[in-house]
Amino acid sequence: MIDLDEIDRAILRQLSEDAGLSASALGKRIGLSQPATWRRVQRLEEAGVLSGARLDLDLAALGFGVTVFLGVKLGTKGRVSLADFERAVSAVPEVQTVEHVLGLYDYRLRVTARDIADFERVLRRRIMTLPGVANVDANVMLSEERLAGPI
Amino acid sequence: MLDDTDRRILRQLQADPRLSGAELASRAGLNAATCWRRLERLRERGVLRGSRAVIDWRALGYSVEVSLRVTLDKAVPRAFEDFAASVREIPEVLEIQTFLGQVDVRLGLIARDLAHYQTLYRDRILTLPHIADLEALMHVARIKTDETVPL
């Protein structure tokens, strides 16, 4: 685990808004030279703090009008292979994220679809047929806000 | 509307948002100038909003991640607005999503450890306005996180 100072935090804030910033553009915004900025970014990458980038797309404009969060409960524990389920669910293209959770459900999935009819198809053909699935609870997302986090 | 070339560009960029212009063009099978023009047009139309760095909070010492599923008190007008405004004051909250379904709001929350989570839960979460019901899912592992869509 690495300690961050104010400059590191400013770099993380800037890059979480725009990961495509060059070291010189980033340096200008935070008042640091290009080589110094580059070294800082390198250090954050090596420490694993910056773990990649995510494309920010207007999903509705691309025809993906519906995002649904699914809570999945697997059947009789011990008889179902978690690894089999995880492999199969990760291979479904409409499934964006898979999280193994403790609580009411075993897995939480984020699923994207063109519309509700398309979602129903994904649910019936791709999710309900996964190995071990006993129960699925669906919540259709209406809005989403991502915050900067504790930096 | 998007054509196959646009989709090809976005597919490649989605797989690796930090590709250089030249590398992206070659993977999409285009010359650099065409690829650049296409990207510009996707940006102008707002389809491509940019890319955001992904921060690995574990590398910064946040080992606990919890999904809080909140039902709000529907008898109160502006319950969501009040609730959301207070949530935005909590730095450890990374995501706020609203839903159509049994759950009204989901918060993605991180904490350094369970003791820290307990403090956050008691002092910041339980004191939020207009909560009718609250339920927590503890994240065990992230199985798939790329958040890509089948373009």
**C-alpha distances out from residue A59 to A13, A126, B14, B90, B94, Å:** 24, 21, 12, 28, 20
Query: What part of B 63-122 touches A (C-beta under 8 Å)?
Result: 67, 84, 88, 91-103, 106, 110
CB of B123 within 8 A of CB of B109? no
pLDDT of residue B72: 94
Band of residue B64 on the pLDDT scale cut at 50, 70, 90:
very high
pLDDT in tens, A69-126: 999 999 876 667 888 999 999 999 999 999 999 988 999 999 999 999 999 999 999 9
CB of A14 within 8 A of CB of A23? no
pLDDT in tens, B6-29: 999 999 999 888 888 899 999 999
pLDDT of residue A76: 74
CATH numbers and ranges of domains, chain B: 4-44 (1.10.10.10), 57-138 (3.30.70.920)
CB of B66 within 8 A of CB of B137? yes
Mean pLDDT is lowest, of A43-47, B15-19, B52-56, B116-120, for B15-19
**In this prediction, does ipTM exceed 0.85?**
yes
Phi and psi of A28, rounded to 5°? -60, -40
* Type of residue numbered A115: D
pLDDT of residue A78: 61
Determine the angle formed by the axes of helices A23-30 and A6-17, rounding to 10 degrees. Answer: 120
What mean pLDDT do residues B43-65 have?
94
CB contact under 8 A, A69 and B50: no
Mean pLDDT is lowest, of A71-80, A125-134, B80-89, for A71-80
pLDDT in tens, B94-147: 999 999 877 799 999 999 999 999 999 999 999 999 999 999 999 999 998 878
Residue B82 pLDDT more than 70? yes
Closest by Cβ to B99, choosing from A62, A93, A142: A142
Token pair 């703090």 in the structure block, residue:
A49
Instruction: Tell whether B53 is within 8 A of chain A (Cβ).
Output: yes
Q: How many CA atoms lie within 13 A of A45 on its CB side?
A: 11
Run of H or E residues at A120:
helix A116-121
CATH numbers and ranges of domains, chain A: 6-46 (1.10.10.10), 66-140 (3.30.70.920)
Report the SS3 class of residue B116. helix
CB of B48 within 8 A of CB of B10? yes
Instruction: Give the DSSP letter of residue A76.
Output: S
CB of A51 within 8 A of CB of B55? yes
Which residues of chain B lie closer than 8 angstroms to A144, CB-CB?
95-98
What mean pLDDT do residues B31-56 have?
94
Separation of alpha carbons A71 and B79, rounded Å? 25
pLDDT in tens, A56-85: 999 988 999 999 999 999 987 666 788 899
Query: What part of A 67-106 touches B (C-beta under 8 Å)?
Result: 69, 71, 86, 89-90, 93-105
Separation of alpha carbons B81 and B43, rounded Å? 31
Residue A3 pLDDT more than 90? no
Residue A37: CB partners within 8 Å, gap ≥ 6?
Answer: A11, A23, A24, A26, A27, A30
Which residues of chain B lie closer than 8 angstroms to A49, CB-CB?
55-56, 59-60
Helices (H) and strands (E) in chain A, counts: 5, 5
Strand partners, A37: none
Which token pair is B39?
Answer: 């990207």
Separation of alpha carbons A19 and B17, rounded Å? 9
Which residues of chain B lie closer than 8 angstroms to A147, CB-CB?
88, 93-96
pLDDT of residue B146: 79
Query: What b/e readout covers A41-57, taking b as 16+ CB neighbours within 10 angstroms?
Result: beebeebebbbbbbbbb
Closest by Cβ to A95, choosing from B18, B99, B144: B144
Instruction: Give the DSSP letter of residue A136.
Output: E
pLDDT of residue A77: 61
Instruction: Tell whether B56 is within 8 A of chain A (Cβ).
Output: yes
CB contact under 8 A, B143 and A15: no
pLDDT more than 70, % of chain B: 100
pLDDT of residue A88: 95
